[in-house]
Amino acid sequence: MSAIEPYWNTAQDLTQLMFSIRKVERQGYFDVSNIPQATLPFHAFSFLTEGEVLMEIEGTTCLCKAGQILLLPARTPFRILYFNGNAGFECGFSMRTLKDPSHPCLHSPHPLLQTLSDEDAHFTELLLDKMLAAFQQNDVQRIASALDFFLCGIKAPDSHPGNPIVNRFLELVFDRSQKPGKVTTYADALCITPNYLNRLVRNQTGHSAMDWIEISRLNLAKLLLRQNQLQIAEIASAAGIDDQSYFTRFFKKSEGCTPSQYRDRILQSDKKEREKKR
């Protein structure tokens, strides 16, 4: 399992940050359980070229996928719920960096999620590459010009992105105070039919409701497998699967190994990391 750092180190004083951008490429499973909710004193955006990330922003879930820009206003609380290894750019900037701070997208109190066409996504990737090069060269004027041009293409949102029913479904699925349930369980809680829930969820996220339940179960199981004192049967139950044999088949289908083999591999990896630090 790979470790993932928070988008920004919130233990540092970030109030004086003017501009920062980085290109990221992450693969594999990421444990996001130890990443706390964060609030940044500056505007931030991410643009994905691969993968997806599910976040909770102001109490509302937001799924950002490849070809999308997610813009967070300053001082907006956010938390990562699920992370599928991805590639793209992450950027933070102060309004003081801009030549023109009047861009409408910067004056909305809500986060913005914008989907780009293939052509616009390719152009945006090239633009952000140039922005990154300017940042590495400390070319303040070129940074400001590229950032202004980037922000010109972003439309101001009217409200929180996404369907509120889908957002609430995702909140329930990743609520770790409850075991992951069945599609019918969540449909009943939302007072809609399972078929309607599936249609809404697939239209917004590209995954079925059952896909998200299985993602939640798998991520929870991986997290609990790091706790060596728990039995496999206990982990299966916590993930909402009472049949240990089925849990083993479910896990192996996704990971290519049994839960016990996965745990042994993780424990060996952790042991090697501890030995390196000595």
Q: Are residues 52 and 101 in the same domain?
A: yes
User: What backbone torsions phi and psi does residue 129 show, to the nearest 5 degrees?
Assistant: -60, -40
Mean pLDDT of 104-114: 85
CB atoms within 10 A of CB 103: 18
- pLDDT at position 230: 87
Is the Cβ–Cβ distance between 71 and 43 less than 8 Å?
A: yes
List beta partners, residue 88.
24, 48
Which residue range is the domain that position 96 belongs to? 19-152
At residue 159, does pLDDT exceed 70? no
> Considering the domain boundaries, does residue 265 fall inside one?
yes
Q: Are residues 144 and 169 in the same domain?
A: no
Banded model confidence at residue 4, pLDDT cuts 50, 70, 90: very low
> Considering the domain boundaries, does residue 168 fall inside one?
yes
Number of structural domains, the chain? Answer: 2
Mean pLDDT of 17-44: 81
Highest mean pLDDT among 9-18, 33-42, 68-77, 108-117: 68-77
Going by C-alpha positions, the residue among 202, 213, 211 that lies closest to residue 178 is: 213
Of 158 and 155, more confident: 155
pLDDT (tens digit per residue) in 118-135: 999 999 999 999 999 999
Q: Are residues 208 and 84 in the same domain?
A: no
Last residue of a domain, one of 152, 183, 213: 152
Going by C-alpha positions, the residue among 185, 237, 249 that lies closest to residue 212 is: 185
- pLDDT at position 14: 65
Going by C-alpha positions, the residue among 43, 101, 78, 39 that lies closest to residue 160 is: 78
List beta partners, residue 47.
69, 89
SS3 129: helix
- pLDDT at position 274: 72
pLDDT (tens digit per residue) in 168-204: 899 899 888 889 999 999 999 999 999 999 999 998 8
Is the Cβ–Cβ distance between 212 and 205 less than 8 Å?
A: yes
What percent of the chain shows pLDDT beyond 90? 46
Q: Are residues 214 and 237 in the same domain?
A: yes
Bridge pairing between strands 68-72 and 19-25: unpaired
At residue 278, does pLDDT exceed 90? no
Going by C-alpha positions, the residue among 216, 204, 130, 133 that lies closest to residue 173 is: 216
Across the chain, the runs of DSSP E, i.e. the strands, are 19-25, 43-57, 60-65, 68-72, 78-93, 112-115
Q: Are residues 93 and 193 in the same domain?
A: no
Q: Are residues 26 and 138 in the same domain?
A: yes
- pLDDT at position 2: 35
Q: Are residues 137 and 178 in the same domain?
A: no
CB atoms within 10 A of CB 62: 23
pLDDT (tens digit per residue) in 59-98: 788 889 999 999 999 888 888 888 887 899 999 999 888 8
Tokens of 114: 């914008």
Last residue of a domain, one of 93, 122, 152: 152
Tokens of 175: 């609520």
pLDDT (tens digit per residue) in 232-271: 999 999 999 999 999 999 999 988 999 999 888 888 877 7
Going by C-alpha positions, the residue among 40, 98, 48 that lies closest to residue 69 is: 48
At residue 154, does pLDDT exceed 50? yes
Return the amino acid letter for 72: L
In sequence order, what DSSP letters do the residues of 138-175 get, joined into one string?
Answer: T-HHHHHHHHHHHHHTPPPPSS-SS-HHHHHHHHHHT-
d(CA 61, CA 51): 17
> Considering the domain boundaries, does residue 4 fall inside one?
no
Q: What is the CATH number of the domain that holds 271?
A: 1.10.10.60
- pLDDT at position 11: 53
